[in-house]
A and B are shown apart, each in its own frame.
Chain A
């Protein structure tokens, strides 16, 4: 783990119509680290990471990537900083096939400037063989795929484009047991490759298992960030419910 954090979110705030969705929150992430974000619905977790992903524009605060201040105003800016996001809602165009979704916004083109479907299909087949060997429906629209298959398309997108920073917003919410295990294995593998991962989930046990540190948010504010080996599942739960850090209080 290097000394310069991969990502530093400093004093980030955003409000929607008078409601402070994220209220002066700071958080950092190192390479090869998984940081979990926990909290009730509406605690501001998704909003915070959407700011990092370029989907929302922060009102105030700073984002630093690799020790340099970064301006992220659009999803494209985020991608330029090798930030890839897997959204809760999956963010796939249901009517397009896996390859078109994987390369959406970054299509491979022939020298003539036309989209190269055959090449994209071949690349998709290659990466899918690695991530999800059971994946066969390459030519069908993703609406015809199961939740797990759709999730692997979304993950493949992040992996293919060499993400350095990966944001996963409830990646296992729509998945079965087996598929959830597959995603967990993948997260560990990506972490070993040196990616920094922000993981959002409601499943506290899963978070304790996968994350190095967990941060708890409530009502837009940061309750606290703890190393998982320093806290119990009950500590985390009480942070989520009470909005107070028991260790700080003690």
Chain B
């Protein structure tokens, strides 16, 4: 008995050693692996729960995963900004209300104001509306940041005020009405069959993605060589390249596997004068435009945080505000810029959310601030400051949205959803605290 026991232990230690070696040589973040595992568990769990309890598994289908990608966009875009806010030891409770307010402003501009002067359906309408929304978001964010940095009012209070003020302002501007319909081009930014780039477009994106993965790995290796820094073994580089490219191609295949619904195809065929054969036509959705926006924002924010002085200063301020100040960083002005950026991203999220809805209501984005903060925190952003990543926040947003969608699919009602989402947030943060304690 005891012999067997020690033997298993020994082999376990050996296996552990191999795994640790693997992690060290590939330089893969264990946190990232943990989050991916949690996500996989959620997805498989919901699918098989549906399969066994309700008789059908609806989660792991192209249709659901495509929808999940679109639903994650708005929260994900805002979560990338919330990472910066939380890293610098602040919080922004106003993003949900601000999203609603900006949606109302953009709705008013494109439905009530511009058509009078430019005529309905003018090609400049959606551009001006979006510009107005992004500008509004940036200004509101900067204003809040200015009160926090120069007025020295705690961010919690300023943005708690903002939570009420922007929501109320939205209702006032819209006089409680729903503003619709939004401009036709604007609507494409929210997804849907026409708001996706189709089979060919998606493959172009996918191939560009693969090239980017390879380029990153090759350039990174060359740079390390130039400065004589330790290199990853070749097998690890190859493995990472294969995983990266595989993930990109897999996602592309998945997005292309979801066809347009029959009704849309019938309409489209009638408009284009195509005969629909009895077995139907398979037209792929491909990547939805909001997902491409999210990908673009993620790449831009990752570059900002890891490759620019701005990003370095965000981390420095979070780690030790006094040291940052003594190093000559203007921490107050940085705070204004960080909140302005948060507002700008809220503007983008507002475009996506109101385009997806096809209208603007003052209630749009209600409770989004909590999902955004939860996404950032589940993604490993520390409320104590100084720690957090953009990709973590995106994964966090995906986890939150997967929970939400999954519970809808298996028929949990709204009350249970709230209980589960709230509990998951607390448990996730607790696990994070344990993880950090052990890794110290």
- The answer to whether A and B interact is yes
A114-122, A174-182, A208-216, A233-241: which lies at the interface: A114-122
Contact of A93 among B227, B229, B309, B315 (CB under 8 A): B315
Q: Given the known A-B contacts A76-B328, A114-B307, A122-B227, are A95 and B386 also in contact in the complex, defined by CB atoms under 8 Å?
A: yes
Task: Tell me whether B278 is interfacial, beta carbon within 8 Å.
Answer: no
Contact of A91 among B223, B312, B318, B327 (CB under 8 A): B327
Task: Tell me whether A100 is interfacial, beta carbon within 8 Å.
Answer: yes
Contacts of A122 in B (CB 8 A): 227-229
A101-109, A186-194, A222-230: which lies at the interface: A101-109
Task: Tell me whether A184 is interfacial, beta carbon within 8 Å.
Answer: no
Contact of A121 among B229, B311, B386 (CB under 8 A): B229
Task: Tell me whether B319 is interfacial, beta carbon within 8 Å.
Answer: yes
Q: Given the known A-B contacts A114-B308, A115-B307, are A95 and B387 also in contact in the complex, defined by CB atoms under 8 Å?
A: yes
Q: Is the interface of B mostly helix, strand, loop or mixed?
A: helix
Task: Tell me whether A87 is interfacial, beta carbon within 8 Å.
Answer: yes
Would B319 and A94 count as touching, CB distance under 8 A? yes
Contact of A87 among B303, B318, B326, B387 (CB under 8 A): B326
Cα A139 to Cα B426 in complex, Å, equals 31
Contact of B324 among A74, A90, A104, A113 (CB under 8 A): A104
Would B312 and A100 count as touching, CB distance under 8 A? yes
Contact of B323 among A79, A104, A106 (CB under 8 A): A104
Cα A93 to Cα B324 in complex, Å, equals 7
Task: Tell me whether B329 is interfacial, beta carbon within 8 Å.
Answer: yes
Task: Tell me whether B226 is interfacial, beta carbon within 8 Å.
Answer: yes
Task: Tell me whether A8 is interfacial, beta carbon within 8 Å.
Answer: no
Cα A75 to Cα B329 in complex, Å, equals 9
Cα A89 to Cα B386 in complex, Å, equals 18
| Tally of contact residues, B, Cβ under 8 A | 27
Contact of A75 among B309, B315, B318, B326 (CB under 8 A): B326
Contact of B320 among A53, A76, A93, A113 (CB under 8 A): A93
Task: Tell me whether B224 is interfacial, beta carbon within 8 Å.
Answer: yes
Q: Given the known A-B contacts A75-B325, A121-B227, are A92 and B307 also in contact in the complex, defined by CB atoms under 8 Å?
A: no
Would B228 and A95 count as touching, CB distance under 8 A? no
Would B315 and A96 count as touching, CB distance under 8 A? yes
Cα A107 to Cα B324 in complex, Å, equals 13
Closest residue of chain B to A75 (Cβ to Cβ) is: B328
Task: Tell me whether B322 is interfacial, beta carbon within 8 Å.
Answer: yes
Contacts of A85 in B (CB 8 A): 326
Q: Given the known A-B contacts A115-B308, A121-B229, A122-B227, are A95 and B318 also in contact in the complex, defined by CB atoms under 8 Å?
A: yes
Q: Place the interface of chain A in its size category.
A: 20 to 34
Task: Tell me whether B316 is interfacial, beta carbon within 8 Å.
Answer: yes
Most buried by A among B311, B318, B327: B327
Q: What distance in Å separates the Cβ of A71 from its nearest Cβ neighbour in chain B? A: 15
Q: Given the known A-B contacts A114-B307, A115-B312, are A92 and B323 also in contact in the complex, defined by CB atoms under 8 Å?
A: yes
Q: Given the known A-B contacts A95-B315, A96-B316, are A104 and B327 also in contact in the complex, defined by CB atoms under 8 Å?
A: yes
Cα A119 to Cα B303 in complex, Å, equals 17
Most buried by A among B226, B309, B311: B309
Q: Given the known A-B contacts A55-B326, A76-B328, A118-B226, are A107 and B309 also in contact in the complex, defined by CB atoms under 8 Å?
A: yes
Q: Given the known A-B contacts A79-B328, A104-B316, A115-B308, are A91 and B228 also in contact in the complex, defined by CB atoms under 8 Å?
A: no
Contacts of B303 in A (CB 8 A): 114
Contacts of B308 in A (CB 8 A): 113-115
Q: What distance in Å separates the Cβ of B304 from its nearest Cβ neighbour in chain A? A: 10
Cα A122 to Cα B311 in complex, Å, equals 21
Would B309 and A109 count as touching, CB distance under 8 A? yes
Cα A113 to Cα B312 in complex, Å, equals 13
B297-312 contacts to A (CB < 8 Å): 303, 307-309, 311-312
Q: What distance in Å separates the Cβ of B319 from its nearest Cβ neighbour in chain A? A: 3
Q: What distance in Å separates the Cβ of B54 from its nearest Cβ neighbour in chain A? A: 46
Would A93 and B326 count as touching, CB distance under 8 A? no
Contact of B312 among A76, A87, A104 (CB under 8 A): A104
Contacts of B312 in A (CB 8 A): 96, 100, 104, 107, 115
Contact of B227 among A53, A100, A113, A119 (CB under 8 A): A119
Q: What distance in Å separates the Cβ of A72 from its nearest Cβ neighbour in chain B? A: 12
Cα A96 to Cα B87 in complex, Å, equals 13
Cα A109 to Cα B309 in complex, Å, equals 9
Most buried by B among A92, A94, A104, A119: A104
Residue-wise, chain A 47-88 has the 8 Å CB interface mask toward B (1 for contact) of: 000000101000000000000000000111001000001010
Cα A87 to Cα B386 in complex, Å, equals 21
B323-351 contacts to A (CB < 8 Å): 323-329
Cα A115 to Cα B305 in complex, Å, equals 10
Q: What distance in Å separates the Cβ of A175 from its nearest Cβ neighbour in chain B? A: 19
Would A74 and B227 count as touching, CB distance under 8 A? no
Cα A97 to Cα B307 in complex, Å, equals 15
Q: What distance in Å separates the Cβ of A111 from its nearest Cβ neighbour in chain B? A: 13
Contacts of A94 in B (CB 8 A): 319-320, 386
Contacts of B327 in A (CB 8 A): 75, 91, 104-105
Most buried by A among B223, B326, B329: B326
Closest residue of chain B to A55 (Cβ to Cβ) is: B326
Cα A96 to Cα B312 in complex, Å, equals 9
8 nearest CB pairs, A to B: A93-B319, A95-B319, A105-B327, A95-B386, A122-B227, A76-B328, A91-B323, A114-B307
| 16 other A-B residue contacts (CB within 8 Å) besides A94-B319, A96-B315, A115-B309 | A75-B326, A75-B327, A76-B328, A91-B322, A91-B323, A93-B315, A93-B318, A93-B323, A93-B324, A93-B386, A95-B315, A104-B316, A105-B329, A106-B328, A115-B311, A119-B227
Q: List 11 A-B contacts (CB under 8 A).
A: A55-B326, A74-B328, A75-B325, A76-B328, A79-B328, A85-B326, A93-B316, A104-B324, A104-B329, A121-B227, A122-B229
